[in-house]
Amino acid sequence: MTTDFTATRDAFVLPEGVIYLDGNSLGPLPKAAAARVAQTVTAEWGQMLITGWNKAGWMDQPARVGDRIARLIGAEPGTVVLGDTLSIKVYQALASALEMNPGRKVILSDSGNFPSDLYMAEGLCRTLGPDYSLRVVEPEAVLDAIDDTVAVTMITEVDYRTGRRHDMTAITARAHEQGALTIWDLAHSAGALPVELAKVGADFAVGCTYKYLNSGPGGPAFIYVAPRHAETARPALSGWLGHESPFAFDLAYRPGRGIERMRVGTPPVLQLAALEAALDVWDQVDLADLRAASLSLTDQFIAGVEAACPELTLATPRDHDRRGSQVSFRHPQGYAIMQAMIARGVIGDFRAPDILRFGFTPLFIGAEDVANAVEILAEVMAKRLWDRPEYHARAKVT
Amino acid sequence: MTTDFTATRDAFVLPEGVIYLDGNSLGPLPKAAAARVAQTVTAEWGQMLITGWNKAGWMDQPARVGDRIARLIGAEPGTVVLGDTLSIKVYQALASALEMNPGRKVILSDSGNFPSDLYMAEGLCRTLGPDYSLRVVEPEAVLDAIDDTVAVTMITEVDYRTGRRHDMTAITARAHEQGALTIWDLAHSAGALPVELAKVGADFAVGCTYKYLNSGPGGPAFIYVAPRHAETARPALSGWLGHESPFAFDLAYRPGRGIERMRVGTPPVLQLAALEAALDVWDQVDLADLRAASLSLTDQFIAGVEAACPELTLATPRDHDRRGSQVSFRHPQGYAIMQAMIARGVIGDFRAPDILRFGFTPLFIGAEDVANAVEILAEVMAKRLWDRPEYHARAKVT
Tens of pLDDT, residues B355-364? 999 999 999 9
Number of domains into which chain B is organized: 2
pLDDT, tens only, A17-43: 999 999 999 999 999 999 999 999 999
In a domain, B122, yes or no: yes
Q: How many CB pairs under 8 A join A and B?
A: 295
Look at residue B351 and give its three-state secondary structure: strand
State whether B53 and A217 contact (CB < 8 Å).
yes
| Boundary (domain end) residue, out of B252, B282, B312 | B282
User: Are residues A15 and A62 both part of a single domain?
Assistant: no
A60: DSSP letter: T
State whether A342 and B51 contact (CB < 8 Å).
yes
In a domain, B397, yes or no: no
CA-based nearest distance B55→chain A, Å = 10
% of chain B at pLDDT higher than 90: 97
- Residues of A forming the active site: 114, 185, 210-211, 357
In a domain, A397, yes or no: no
Strand partners of residue B81: B223
CA-based nearest distance A359→chain B, Å = 12
Report the first-to-last Cα separation within chain B, whole angstroms.
38
pLDDT of residue A398: 43
Q: State the helix-helix crossing angle for B31-39 and A31-39, rounded to 10 degrees.
A: 170
CA-to-CA distance for A92 and A101, rounded, in angstroms?
Answer: 14
The domain that holds A376 is classified in CATH as: 3.90.1150.10
CA-to-CA distance for B279 and A121, rounded, in angstroms?
Answer: 36
B173-198 burial, b for 16+ CB within 10 Å, e for fewer? bbbeeeebbbbbbbbbbbbbbebebb
pLDDT of residue B270: 98
Catalytic residue among B117, B185, B354, B369: B185
* pTM for this entry: 0.97
pLDDT, tens only, A75-114: 999 999 999 999 999 999 999 999 999 999 999 999 999 9
CA-to-CA distance for B126 and B122, rounded, in angstroms?
Answer: 6
Query: What's the Rg (C-alpha) of chain A?
Result: 21
In a domain, B396, yes or no: no
pLDDT of residue B393: 84
User: Are residues B330 and B190 both part of a single domain?
Assistant: no
Mean of the pLDDT values across residues A138-160? 98
Asked if residue A353 has a cis previous peptide bond (ω within 30° of 0), the answer is yes
User: Are residues B135 and B238 both part of a single domain?
Assistant: yes
User: Are residues B331 and B301 both part of a single domain?
Assistant: yes
pLDDT at B262 over 70: yes
pLDDT of residue B394: 75
Question: What residue in B sits closest to A208 (Cα-Cα)?
Answer: B266
CA A97, distance to chain mean position in Å, is 20
pLDDT at B397 over 60: no
State whether B236 and A351 contact (CB < 8 Å).
no
Q: How many helices (H) and strands (E) does chain A have?
A: 14, 13
In a domain, A128, yes or no: yes
pLDDT at B234 over 80: yes
Closest partner CB to A37 (pick from B239, B270, B272): B270
Instruction: Say whether residue B207 is in contact with chain A using an 8 A CB cutoff.
Output: no
B167 flagged as catalytic: no
Catalytic residue among B91, B132, B160, B210: B210
In a domain, A71, yes or no: yes
CA atoms within 13 A on the CB side of A345: 13
| Boundary (domain end) residue, out of B238, B255, B282 | B282
In a domain, A396, yes or no: no
Instruction: Say whether residue B87 is in contact with chain A using an 8 A CB cutoff.
Output: yes
Residues whose CB falls within 8 Å of the CB of residue B71, separated by 6 or more in sequence, listed in order: none
pLDDT of residue B1: 77
pLDDT of residue A394: 75
Chain B residues with CB under 8 Å of A22 CB are 49-50
pLDDT at B398 over 50: no
State whether A253 and B95 contact (CB < 8 Å).
no
Mean of the pLDDT values across residues B299-323? 98
User: Are residues B79 and B139 both part of a single domain?
Assistant: yes
User: Are residues B363 and B215 both part of a single domain?
Assistant: no
User: Are residues A233 and A351 both part of a single domain?
Assistant: no
Closest partner CB to B116 (pick from A59, A265, A347): A265
User: Are residues B45 and B18 both part of a single domain?
Assistant: no
CA-to-CA distance for A283 and A72, rounded, in angstroms?
Answer: 10
Ranges of H-type helices in chain A: 5-10, 31-39, 47-48, 52-55, 61-72, 86-100, 115-128, 142-145, 168-177, 197-200, 269-282, 287-308, 334-343, 367-382
| Boundary (domain end) residue, out of A254, A282, A310 | A282
pLDDT at A260 over 90: yes
pLDDT at A369 over 90: yes
The boundaries of the domain holding residue B191 are 34-282
Residues whose CB falls within 8 Å of the CB of residue B69, separated by 6 or more in sequence, listed in order: B75, B80, B82, B190, B207, B209, B213, B222, B279
Question: What residue in A sits closest to B209 (Cα-Cα)?
Answer: A266
Question: What residue in A sits closest to B350 (Cα-Cα)?
Answer: A247
Compute the mean pLDDT over every residue in chain B, rounded to the nearest whole number.
97
User: Are residues B264 and B354 both part of a single domain?
Assistant: no
Q: Respond yes or no on whether ipTM tops 0.95.
A: yes
User: Are residues A58 and A186 both part of a single domain?
Assistant: yes
pLDDT, tens only, B335-356: 999 999 999 999 999 998 999 9
Mean of the pLDDT values across residues B22-39? 98
User: Are residues B309 and B185 both part of a single domain?
Assistant: no
pLDDT of residue A1: 77
CA-based nearest distance A310→chain B, Å = 27
Mean of the pLDDT values across residues A295-317? 98
Q: Write out the DSSP string of B41-80.
A: IIIIIIHHGGGHHHHT-TTTHHHHHHHHHHHHTT--TT-E
Question: What residue in A sits closest to B41 (Cα-Cα)?
Answer: A34
CA-to-CA distance for A369 and A364, rounded, in angstroms?
Answer: 9
Mean of the pLDDT values across residues B97-116? 97
The domain that holds B225 is classified in CATH as: 3.40.640.10
In a domain, A317, yes or no: yes
pLDDT, tens only, B266-277: 999 999 999 999
User: Are residues A107 and A207 both part of a single domain?
Assistant: yes
pLDDT at B395 over 90: no
